[in-house]
Amino acid sequence: MKVLHTCDNPPCVNPAHLFLGTQADNIKDCLDKGRANYGTLSGSDNGNAKLTETEVLAIREKYASGKIFQRELAKEYGVTQTHISYLVREKNWRYLAKQN
């Protein structure tokens, strides 16, 4: 069992704000209250993003020119060749492809 918070303030120790529940209860509570944003942040709003929208568009444009290899782009932008491959094939940052 875990101690969950009705007030959604983890440091709170007020017994009136605490209740027992499982991890599943904790996740359900989080989702029910709209506190979870799993996978909803796109582009540079996502804390795991290594690039900006401008950089992604530049990478796609440079690669489309046929004058540069993926590994060279990866070195230039400080990411892996696999990352570049996903970008140019629009497996990542798909929403940018829809805007152009």
pLDDT in tens, 69-87: 999 999 999 999 999 999 9
Q: Whole-number mean pLDDT of the chain?
A: 87
First vs last C-alpha separation in the chain: 50
Q: Which domain holds residue 7?
A: 2-32
Is 0.75 surpassed by the pTM of this model? no
Residue 20 placed within a domain = yes
Based on the domain organization, do 22 and 49 belong to the same domain? no
Residue 71 placed within a domain = yes
Q: Is 80 exposed, middle or buried (0-12, 13-18, 19+ CB in 10 A)?
A: middle
pLDDT in tens, 23-46: 999 888 887 877 766 556 677 777
Of 92, 90, 89, 88, whose CA–CA distance to 50 is shortest? 92
Mean pLDDT of 54-80: 97
Q: Name the domain count of the chain.
A: 2
Based on the domain organization, do 18 and 48 belong to the same domain? no
Residue 77 placed within a domain = yes
Based on the domain organization, do 26 and 47 belong to the same domain? no
> Is residue 94 pLDDT above 60, yes or no?
yes
